[in-house]
Structure 1
């Protein structure tokens, strides 16, 4: 048995905040990772941050059909995460719907807000048709 195959059941201090957040969400995988895997986890915590890793793990566990038996399940998803944004970064505004999109912008101010939407227009036309029939 080589040192690479040794599994460590003790959770290192650097990983404790991530493990605690995952446990607080009611997810209890086995945390017996090899020292090499803990090094990878430590690098991922430094790159993406504790909160991002914990949120990704909770989402992955919720999508898992049979539950998550081992924390190793999260490592691949964590490796796909982007780096954490620099402190003070302001979130980007939502992008406008793309061309050909079936998403209509919601009018919030100005003349567009006074105009009825497509659903309201259709309901009005339908009401007019019903009124004409009577």
Structure 2
């Protein structure tokens, strides 16, 4: 059935209050789409938000919209992406350690005074000489 037929029968639901944070986050990210979903589709969105969390749904929608070659004009486009998302992590779950280039680098404290290489070398040589004596 076409969207026009659904609207004519009054099957299109307004944005439920529980979905408002998702819609607001997606719109604030610059992704502007039509939100004329049916009542059944809003129930699906609600269930997915409870499973994966509204932040995850919003982030996935923004990424999907940016990847879309022809742009996105309707929120229905996000339903498949959202259905493929994993459940939100359990409360208190610690994120995995980062991997990839630079993941094992310890950042330096930018406020700590640092000696130049020559000064470090002079200190090392002074320590060696002190140990030998």
TM over 0.5, yes or no? Answer: yes
TM-score (normalizing by structure 2): 0.67
Q: How does 1:55-70 map to 2 (within 5 A)?
A: 55-70=59-74
In the alignment, what sits opposite 1:7? 12
Change (3 A) 1:91 1:66: same
Q: CA–CA distance in 2 between the matches of 1:68 and 1:107?
A: 39
Give secondary structure in 2 for the equivalent of 1:56.
helix
Change (3 A) 1:33 1:106: closer
CA contact (8 A) 1:5 1:34 kept: no
Q: Which of these residues, 24, 40, 43, is aligned with residue 44 of structure 2?
A: 40
CA contact (8 A) 1:7 1:35 kept: yes
CA contact (8 A) 1:29 1:69 kept: yes
TM-score (normalizing by structure 1): 0.66
Change (3 A) 1:108 1:56: closer
Runs of 4+ in structure 1 off by over 4 angstroms are 103-109
Length, aligned pairs only:
101
Give secondary structure in 1 for the equivalent of 2:61.
helix
In the alignment, what sits opposite 2:79? 75
Change (3 A) 1:106 1:52: closer
Change (3 A) 1:88 1:36: same
- Structure 2: stretches of 5+ with no match in the other structure: 107-133
**Deviation of 1:67 (Å):** 1.0
Superposed CA offset, 1:62-114 (max 9, x none): 0011111100000000000000001211011246xxxxxxx8887758xxxxx
Superposed CA offset, 1:1-56 (max 9, x none): 78x98112x21001000000000001111000111100000000000001000000
